[in-house]
Amino acid sequence: MAGKDRIVLVLSHTHWDREWYESFESFRYRLVKAMDKLIEILQSSTEYRCFNLDGQLVILEDYLEIRPEMRRVLEELVTSGRIGVGPWYVQADEFLSDGESLIRNLLLGSQIAHEFGDPQKLAYLPDTFGHNSQIPQIARHFGITSSLIWRGVSGDDLPWEFIWEGADGSSLYTYRLPERLGYCNMAFTPEGQPVDSAFFIGSAKEFMENSATGMVVLMDGCDHVQPSESILPFIDQLKETDNCLSCKQALFNDLAAELKKRIPATEGIRVLHGQLKNVNISKRGYFNFILPNVLSSRCKNKRENFDALNWLESYAEPLASFALLLGKRHPGGFLQKAWKLVLQNLAHDSIGGCSVDEVHLDVSRRYSHSIEISRNIAMDSLSSLSGAASEGENDFFVVFNPSQCPTSPVEIEIDLPHIAFDNLSKRPVVKNETGEEVDFQISSLRETEKSLNYLGGSAPIEKVVSVKGYLGSQIDGLSFDKFQICSSSRPINHDLYKANNSRCLENKFLMVTAMPDGRVEIMSKATGEKLFTNLFEDGGDCGDGYVYSRPLTDTIVTSSGSLETVEVIENGPLARAIRLSYTLSVPVGLVENGRKRSLSRTEMPVHCTLRLMESSSILEIETEIANSCENHRLQVNFWREKPGNALFYKTPFDIVTTPKSQPSKINPNWIEDEPLARPNNGVFGEIENTDRYSGFAVSTKGINEFESFEQGLKLTLFRAVGHIASPYPLSSMKRPAGPKIETPGAQMKGSLTFEYAVFFIDSLEDIVKRSCSYLKKPLSIGFAGRRPETPLTVDSLTTEVTAIKKAENGESIILRLVNFSEESDNVKIRLREGLFSKACLCTAAEKREEEIPIQNNLVSVACGPKKIVTLEFEMSS
């Protein structure tokens, strides 16, 4: 672009994957050396202006844990503008995170950055595998107006600068890095040679031709590189070639300021809408892959991610906030620790499942520790809320419903004092607070010893009876109920649960039938519509942690005709369940350098439990698999007699609809197939068309990938692969995306369990409420003294509660909502009388914007289309 106001910004940086092809500690060893060298350069050279620390604060923490004595030095360098930090805590995957964790990523990053100086105000996303549609809105909540990205956007006719408009209409002034080398474009040449003056100057001028605003960004750095002063002479040499062009080392804030100034002043600037997940279409493309199948690698880590986030968001934070209202000390330090552990795992190579085995063992440990913290907080808070049981009244228990929707029947899993049971052969009965007997169906009842630390004492070891079952009661959303369990003279009727060998489950909503060939038919009694599932499909996979790749000669194995037994395992008044057992004969691996599946086979048992509650329109499914095979993918199909024309899927803070079309492979600049795989952040489904939510939905617990086919949808349960990047010829990519390091742990051998549910839908409200009810199960606690009062409830149509937490500053309560609809939703928030004195709308960064009235203990909020709404409730004195 010609003109006088042209500028080249050189972003000196290092892109620091905390763990990937080496373990965290191995990379940290290198990080400390790199940071030591950076500090040495900045302290000895005024010519070396500044350095960007990859937009993530966690690497500062990693460094200072080893070099705590350098904190003051780093504070001075950040404050003086020599080192740019933030805004993120980690460089996270945008589709395997949930919406709330993306906000916490910025919230925590901002807090830590302010300890050193001001954070950089740029949504820096140089290496994420595609971009979520709500990033612009989330960034705007934190005062961020600009972004820098690489993957997911491509085109030789698309300038580097454009406006990225998110799902709700919020926008970011965005700069995309050139396809060829992305965030490494001045670290080395395309041929892998060192950058010299000619390459630097030539690249700057070449890139300027594609600029809409007269600005070029050159990236002086790459993965795990140490800072170098070698770039400095080239900056002066470039300026000498053109008096009308300026060039300087810059921080992210410098880039943000230039984008904010230049893009609004440029006519005809392009606007891109929604999520950005396009494959390369540019002749410059090389390794700007979007790598869609990280969604299904390392399936155990994906389930652990769901569990950890669910414990934090649905139980620990809300219950700790409610206990705070009663004066209990808030466990803020523990919650921050739990969040840090989860966020560290959401780094794209960690949660993506494309790292060495040691990394994924560490990921599991972090999730385990986070869940332990959250579970302790939740149970301790629920114990405080329900109070201590009176002497001789240890048979009371309290149940909390974390969903905003009513739940019935109520699933319980609870430890009760053994003295509440005179004889385990007698059937206990349950009564509500008024003394009326409640229907109670027992799934299991066993005597054991446990540590119940929420009871206090130096050694809170209790002899308890662990009870699992269902209560024929209804608990409103975000509410509590109290029950008493009593012994009776009636014996337990074990035949009640095993007497019926029927292949059918039935209630007033659904008729579910296990068919002789192994398929399952689900019929809506209201409409007569039929949905089919339980056709399992196993195929070869010569891909890797990043991508699925079909072998040149594949062998597809299905479960058709492999059903061996159907067993009734629950047959009570509140829930019925049948267990279907299949045996698939699966090739043991690949042969001929990954080109075909082996002739040698082994058995792969599949056990599938179907459960239908008495008053529920949701069929719950648990599938257990014993995998001993390698390099394969297992999917389960869902289809109707008359397929829909569109599909939907949930992503962080959005539900995306799209026509159900198969991608085309016609791309002269092909480096990667247009992905069949789509993300699933808890629910997806097939619908009539993009503006009519009539069809079916599948809700999943940490099963993040699905595909469409002509007749329906396929849920990918797991992929078993053996390398970070495949050593075999790939059918889906032009070249591998990483090192060909062996990862035997990614073959996912052993026992695997998957939980998901299916239901018919006729509206977006059905999707939001039913998936929420399925994913957020009640939490129970024994030894209870009282039924806690409910601080607040939420009544909405298409809006979901995503957070109830203590404010970062002060004792207020934060409530966050997101409206998934393209229409406004009027949300009613009912508050407990006298509990709160003020309500305010605020940003996700918890900056107050305006006060809203509380009228008769009711707050009304109009949640705009696709809007994230955060409210702050100030407690009465």
Q: Grade residue 377 by pLDDT with cuts at 50, 70 and 90.
A: very high
> Within 10 Å of residue 729's Cβ, how many Cβ atoms?
12
Query: Looking at the predicted structure, is the pLDDT value of residue 599 above 70?
Result: yes
Residue 407 maps to which CATH number? Answer: 2.60.40.2210
SS (H, E, C) 222-273: CECCCCCCCCHHHHHHHHHHCCCEEEEECCHHHHHHHHHHHCCCCCCCCEEE
CA pair distance 410, 595, nearest whole angstrom? 51
Residue 385 located in a structural domain = no
- Dig out the tokens for 390 from the structure: 């009176």
Give the pLDDT confidence score for residue 811 in this predicted structure. Answer: 93
CATH number at 873 reads: 2.60.40.1180
Q: What angle do CA 386, 392, 396 make, to 5 degrees?
A: 35
Q: Looking at the structure, tell me whether residues 95 and 241 fall in a common domain.
A: yes
Please spell the DSSP secondary structure of 819-867, one letter per residue: E-SSS-EEEEEEE-TTTEEEEEEE-TT--EEEEE--BTTEEEEEE-TT-
Write down the pLDDT at residue 437. 95
If pLDDT is split at 50, 70 and 90, which confidence band does 667 have?
A: confident
Alpha carbon distance 604, 588 (integer Å): 10
Distance CA 769, CA 797 (A): 8
| pLDDT in the model for residue 486 | 84
Query: For residue range 189-213, what is the model confidence (pLDDT) as tens digits?
Result: 999 999 999 999 999 999 999 999 9
- Write the pLDDT tens digit of every residue in 256-267: 999 999 999 999
Domain that holds residue 875: 791-877
Q: Do residues 475 and 401 lie in contact, with contact meaning Cβ atoms separated by under 8 Å?
A: yes
Q: Residue 815: how many CB atoms within 10 A of its CB? A: 24
192 φ/ψ sector (left φ>0, alpha ψ -120 to 50, else beta)? left
Q: How far is residue 745's CA from residue 731's CA, in Å, rounded to a whole number?
A: 23
pLDDT at 501 (0 to 100): 59
Asked if 471 and 430 count as a contact pair (C-beta separation under 8 A), the reply is: yes
Average pLDDT of every residue of the chain: 95
Q: Is the pLDDT of residue 459 over 80?
A: no
- Provide the pLDDT for residue 491: 66
Nearest Cα to Cα of residue 653 among 871, 867, 798, 828: 867
pLDDT tens-digit series, residues 293-335: 999 999 999 999 999 999 999 999 999 999 999 999 999 999 9
Within a domain: residue 330? no
Report yes or no on 212 lying in a domain: yes
Q: Indicate if the pLDDT at residue 447 is higher than 60.
A: yes
Higher pLDDT, residue 746 or 453: 746
Q: With cut-offs at 50, 70 and 90, classify the pLDDT of residue 452.
A: confident
Band of residue 391 on the pLDDT scale cut at 50, 70, 90:
low
Q: Tell me the pTM.
A: 0.97
For the chain, what is the domain count? 3
The sheet that has 619-627: what strands, in order across it? 563-571, 575-587, 601-613, 619-627, 750-761, 692-700, 683-689, 646-651, 654-659
- 499: pLDDT confidence band, cut at 50, 70 and 90? very low
Mean pLDDT across 673-702: 96
The strand pairing partners of 607, in sequence order, are 581, 624
Q: Which of 782, 799, 826 is the last residue of a domain?
A: 782
Does the pLDDT at position 67 exceed 60?
yes
Specify whether the backbone of 457 is left (phi greater than 0), alpha (psi in -120 to 50) or beta. left
Beta bridge partners of 781: 398
Predicted local distance difference test score (pLDDT) of residue 691 = 87
Average pLDDT, stretch 759-786? 95
pLDDT of residue 3: 54
Asked if pLDDT for residue 823 goes beyond 70, the answer is yes
Q: What is the full DSSP assignment across 562-585? A: -EEEEEEEEESSSEEEEEEEEEEE
> Which region among 120-134, 153-167, 354-368, 380-394 has the lowest average model confidence (pLDDT)?
380-394
Is residue 123 one of the residues assigned to a domain? yes
Q: What percent of the chain has pLDDT over 70?
A: 95
- Give the CB-side neighbour count of residue 367, counting CA atoms within 13 A: 21
Give yes or no: residues 56 and 193 share one domain.
Answer: yes
> Mean pLDDT throughout 102-129?
98
What is the rounded distance in angstroms from the CA atom of residue 435 to the CA atom of residue 400?
A: 19
CA torsion, points 18, 22, 24, 30, in degrees to nearest 10? -80
Whole-angstrom distance, CA of residue 722 vs CA of residue 742: 6
Quick one: which of 632, 723, 11 has its CA closest to 356? 723
The domain boundary, picked from 268, 290, 312, lies at 290
On whether both 256 and 403 belong to a single domain, the answer is no
Whether 2 has a pLDDT exceeding 60, the answer reads no
CATH number, residue 203: 3.20.110.10
**Is residue 621 in a domain?**
no
Selected residue with higher pLDDT from 424 and 108: 108
Question: 401 and 795 in contact (C-beta within 8 Å)?
Answer: no
Q: Do 405 and 271 share a domain, yes or no?
A: no
Q: Are 35 and 63 spatial neighbours (Cβ–Cβ below 8 Å)?
A: yes
Residue 413 tokens read as 């899993």
Q: From CA 118, how far away is CA 111, in angstroms rounded?
A: 10
CA 633/CA 646 separation, integer angstroms: 25
Question: Where is pLDDT greater, at 423 or 679?
Answer: 679
Show Cβ contacts of residue 464 under 8 Å, excluding neighbours closer than 6 positions: 415, 416, 417, 418, 447, 448, 449, 450, 452, 782
Residue 164 predicted with pLDDT over 90: yes
Name the percent of the chain in helix, strand, coil, to the closest 5.
25, 35, 40
SS3 category, 150 = coil
Residue 420 pLDDT level (bands cut at 50, 70, 90): low
End-to-end CA distance of the chain: 62
Provide the pLDDT confidence category of residue 243 given band limits of 50, 70 and 90. confident
Q: Is residue 822 part of a domain?
A: yes
**Which of 673-688 are b and which e, b meaning 16 or more Cβ less than 10 Å from the residue's Cβ?**
bbbbbbbbbbbbbbbe
Whether 603 is in a domain gets the answer no
Mean pLDDT of 595-623: 98
Is residue 759 within 8 A of residue 617, CB to CB? The reply is: yes
Q: Is residue 138 part of a domain?
A: yes
Helix (H, G, I), strand (E, B), or coil: what is residue 99?
helix
Is the CB of residue 521 less than 8 Å from the CB of residue 532? yes
Between 99-116 and 71-79, two packed helices, what is the crossing angle to 10 degrees?
100
Q: How far is CA 316 from CA 322, 335, 785, in A?
A: 10, 8, 20
**End-of-domain residue from the set 714, 749, 782:** 782
**Amino acid symbol at 68:** P
Task: Give the pairing type, strands 51-52 and 83-84.
Answer: parallel
Interval 860-869 mean pLDDT: 98
Q: Given this model, what pLDDT does residue 427 score?
A: 77
Look up tokens 């795989």; give the residue.
677
Question: How far is residue 843's CA from residue 827's CA, in Å, rounded to a whole number?
Answer: 18
**8 A C-beta contact, residue 561 and residue 517:** yes
